[in-house]
Chains A and B, each alone.
Chain A
Amino acid sequence: MADFLQLVFSGAAIGAIYALAALGFTLLWQASGTINFAQGEFVMLPAFAMLFFLKVAGAPLWLAFLLACVVAMLILGYGFKVVVVDPLLKHGVIPLVIATLGLSIGLKSAVKAGYSAEAQPFPAIFPDGLLALGTIRVSYADVGTLLVAGLIVVGLQLFLNRTLTGRAMQAVAQNTESARVLGIDVKQMVLYTFLINAVLASVAALLVTPAYLAKFDMGDSIGLKAFYAAIIGGFNQTRGALLGGVLVGVLENLMGAYVSPAYKEGVALMLFLVVIIFKPEGLLGKAEERKV
């Protein structure tokens, strides 16, 4: 039983990282109808930005993280919205999907060619060692990851529900036309969503890179699983992204331990297929009507 609980705990920790990336997926979708298939690379780039500030500028990790957040907001938030999303979204979702797939390939190739194809070590943000929680022993890294991800999620929910700006962002996500007529600056609210997504990706990078190492293709797995997690939980519900992320993380950990590590990577896909067939709106999602 202790083994099982330990697996659940460590699975929840990695799932929390998927959830952060998945949260970005759902926020972008709700606010602007954007599906970003370069989301994994949006996690990979801040990891390399942090490495740059650590190695080249000699900054401490906390400063490297803050600087990476600023760079991510500028490039992956503002730049992505202005250069890629705004010109393409008016032509529908499909051109944007193709563009983000291309962006994903381009970003990977650029990092591979411009930096290195080798996996780069990244400093741990939590101490080594195990913490005893009753009968189970969990690593400080897992506890820290869950705590940081949990704080980010709670903070985001407080921002969305308890501030005027957050509520205006919700209004834009739920009914853009009405929000515009009520005097809400829709463009500004959508931009905030892109900036938040960039910060979420940077936090995910900070949490995941010590274990995954910084590598040009580190975003492949995270991006894909975050996408599955967002759909499993419900693409139109931020709570769904959290549930989907944690579910994928826990189940793949259990599958790896009790069935075979070979099947671990397929868990998210299997769960995704089951949900798409039996509950296409996602576990917490709500069916939506659209005008055609």
Chain B
Amino acid sequence: MSVFLEVKDVRKYYGAIRAVDGVSFALGPGEIVGVIGPNGSGKTTLFNSILGQIRPTSGAVEFAGEDITGMSPLELARRGIGRTFQTLQVFGKLSVRDNLIVAAQEFKGTMKSRLFAAPDAGLGEHADRMIELFRLQHVATLPAGTLSYGQQKLIDIAMAFMAGPRLVLLDEPCAGVNPSLVDQLRELLIELNRTQGGSFVVIEHNMDFVMRLCPQVICMVEGKVLAAGPPASVQGNRAVLEAYLGN
């Protein structure tokens, strides 16, 4: 397997608190990895360390052979790395369509062309296809902030994929989403993985969602990797069960 993303012994300490404590894993092109673990196990801190939101205390992150440790979100976005957040991050006053266009327009043109280019930056058709894929046609022209939480979550995820990223880190994509949308979301991610070919790392508490989406799963507890492997083996791991349910 060729390695696409490699997380090498990443640690993030806050004084005596070891939020992430020596996590390593690797991901190949087009692969999907799920990261599970109880609340406070360091999943989001790991994400933020990979994505330059915080600088790890030690360790390294390599992407496509390049050391990206501590790079800013802007630099990572330009290398084709996207993310979603636990909380909604849509631009509430922009329409759904404009949200999708703004998510990819930064990779278009020079300063001069950015002032005089078509307002949709040539991304209109692509945005419309994403809107159709995410079944948001009926709300495409409405301000994103006026829509339901679930719909905004779908927009959030669609935005992360608009620029055709090579790697997307999804932080709890199902959080707050109506159960009827969860299956739709999983199918969408599988479709995007198939058509765009990007690699995904998915943090999620919804076990059914993770087990059916991710061929590989990592379970984190107290900042460390407790178990890693195919979903069935992680799910059946006694230490994992104890971490979730207690002794």
B98: which A residues are within 8 A, CB to CB? 167
State the CA gap A182–B107 with chains docked (Å).
Answer: 10
**Pair B89/A175 contact, Cβ less than 8 Å:** yes
Partner of A183, one of B85, B92, B109, B163: B163
Binary B-proximity of A155-196 (CB < 8 A = 1, otherwise 0)? 000010111110110110011011111111110000000000
State the CA gap A183–B71 with chains docked (Å).
Answer: 12
**Pair B115/A165 contact, Cβ less than 8 Å:** yes
**Pair B106/A183 contact, Cβ less than 8 Å:** yes
Do A171 and B91 form a contact, CB below 8 Å, given A181-B77, A181-B82, A183-B163?
Answer: yes
**Pair B74/A180 contact, Cβ less than 8 Å:** yes
Query: Which of A164, A168, A174 has the most chain B CB atoms closer than 10 A to its own CB?
Result: A164
State the CA gap A162–B74 with chains docked (Å).
Answer: 23
**Pair A183/B108 contact, Cβ less than 8 Å:** no
State the CA gap A159–B119 with chains docked (Å).
Answer: 10
B78: which A residues are within 8 A, CB to CB? 183
A168: which B residues are within 8 A, CB to CB? 102, 105-106
List residues of A (35-89) whose CB comes within 8 Å of B's CBs.
none
A-B contact pairs, 14 of them (CB 8 A): A163-B114, A165-B115, A167-B94, A168-B105, A170-B93, A170-B102, A175-B90, A177-B85, A179-B91, A182-B102, A182-B103, A182-B106, A183-B77, A185-B106
B166: which A residues are within 8 A, CB to CB? none
B83: which A residues are within 8 A, CB to CB? 181
List residues of B (69-88) whose CB comes within 8 Å of A's CBs.
72-74, 77-78, 82-83, 85
**Pair A163/B94 contact, Cβ less than 8 Å:** no
**Pair A164/B108 contact, Cβ less than 8 Å:** yes
State the CA gap A175–B91 with chains docked (Å).
Answer: 6
Residues of B within 8 A of A (CB): 51, 72-74, 77-78, 82-83, 85, 89-94, 98, 101-109, 111, 114-117, 119, 121, 159, 163
State the CA gap A167–B103 with chains docked (Å).
Answer: 10
State the CA gap A185–B91 with chains docked (Å).
Answer: 16
> How distant is A251 from chain B, measured CB to nearest CB, in Å?
28
State the CA gap A185–B73 with chains docked (Å).
Answer: 10
**Pair B89/A177 contact, Cβ less than 8 Å:** yes
**Pair A164/B105 contact, Cβ less than 8 Å:** yes
> How distant is A165 from chain B, measured CB to nearest CB, in Å?
5
State the CA gap A161–B95 with chains docked (Å).
Answer: 11
State the CA gap A180–B71 with chains docked (Å).
Answer: 12
Task: Please give me the 3 A-B residue pairs with the lowest Cβ-Cβ distance, nearest first.
Answer: A183-B77, A178-B89, A183-B106
> How distant is A234 from chain B, measured CB to nearest CB, in Å?
12
Partner of B119, one of A162, A171, A181, A186: A162
> How distant is A258 from chain B, measured CB to nearest CB, in Å?
39
Partner of A164, one of B77, B93, B109: B109
**Pair B77/A167 contact, Cβ less than 8 Å:** no
**Pair B90/A171 contact, Cβ less than 8 Å:** no
A163: which B residues are within 8 A, CB to CB? 114-117, 119
**Pair A184/B106 contact, Cβ less than 8 Å:** yes
A162: which B residues are within 8 A, CB to CB? 119
**Pair A164/B114 contact, Cβ less than 8 Å:** yes
State the CA gap A178–B92 with chains docked (Å).
Answer: 12
State the CA gap A184–B159 with chains docked (Å).
Answer: 13
Do A171 and B102 form a contact, CB below 8 Å, given A163-B119, A165-B115?
Answer: yes
> How distant is B20 from chain A, measured CB to nearest CB, in Å?
20
Do A182 and B94 form a contact, CB below 8 Å, given A163-B115, A164-B109, A168-B105?
Answer: no
> How distant is B49 from chain A, measured CB to nearest CB, in Å?
15
**Pair A180/B117 contact, Cβ less than 8 Å:** no
Q: Which residue of A lies closest to B104 (CB)?
A: A182
A177: which B residues are within 8 A, CB to CB? 85, 89
**Pair A174/B73 contact, Cβ less than 8 Å:** no
A175: which B residues are within 8 A, CB to CB? 89-92
State the CA gap A186–B94 with chains docked (Å).
Answer: 17
State the CA gap A164–B117 with chains docked (Å).
Answer: 7
**Pair B93/A181 contact, Cβ less than 8 Å:** no
> How distant is B100 from chain A, measured CB to nearest CB, in Å?
11
A186: which B residues are within 8 A, CB to CB? 74
Q: Which residue of A lies closest to B79 (CB)?
A: A183
Binary B-proximity of A1-41 (CB < 8 A = 1, otherwise 0)? 00000000000000000000000000000000000000000
**Pair B121/A182 contact, Cβ less than 8 Å:** no
State the CA gap A178–B119 with chains docked (Å).
Answer: 20
